[in-house]
Amino acid sequence: MPSVPEPLSKFIKTHRRRIARVVAIIAFGVVGYHIWSSTPRDVEFRFDLGPRHERVTSMWVSYQEEGEEVGGVRFDHRRGSPRLQSHVVSLAPGRYAAVIGVYQGDRLKRHRRSFVVPTEGVLRMRLFEERLSQHSSRHRLGN
């Protein structure tokens, strides 16, 4: 077994309590960081149902991690939904998918959106498609 150089050996013997404190502080910091980084966080979603939101009678959301549902919510609106529907869910850091079903009467439209937690601010998800006017679809570039 290789021997420790004498100056280093003397330093360790002289400062072993300080070295032990520093090692303990670093260890607590590493463990604390890992615990903090895996702690679930509240994530706020805002679903935009678009200009025809009053036709939406219900909506459900399934939050999934690796294909497994980890949370969800359902909204029912007999007289039509507001354009923006908000929801807060607590999720641990990671990659997720929101699988969303929007009902307009008996018609179901499904959406899938991917997202990562943690995230800054509100996650906005647009659940409608805008139709281009005939004028804008005929416009040619470079003419």
In a domain, 109, yes or no: yes
Residues 12 and 71 in one domain: no
Residues 55 and 98 in one domain: yes
Residues 49 and 119 in one domain: yes
Write the pLDDT tens digit of every residue in 43-76.
Answer: 999 999 999 999 999 999 999 999 999 999 999 9
| Segments forming the whole domain that contains residue 15 | 1-37
Total count of domains within the chain: 2
Nearest to 125 by CA among 73, 55, 67, 66: 73
Write the pLDDT tens digit of every residue in 89-115.
Answer: 999 999 999 999 999 989 999 999 999
Residues 69 and 6 in one domain: no
Write the pLDDT tens digit of every residue in 20-51.
Answer: 888 888 888 888 777 766 788 899 999 999 99
In a domain, 143, yes or no: no
Phi, psi of 11 (to 5 degrees): -60, -45
Residues 64 and 120 in one domain: yes
Residues 52 and 122 in one domain: yes
Residues 22 and 92 in one domain: no
Is the separation of the CB atoms in 86 and 61 below 8 Å?
A: no
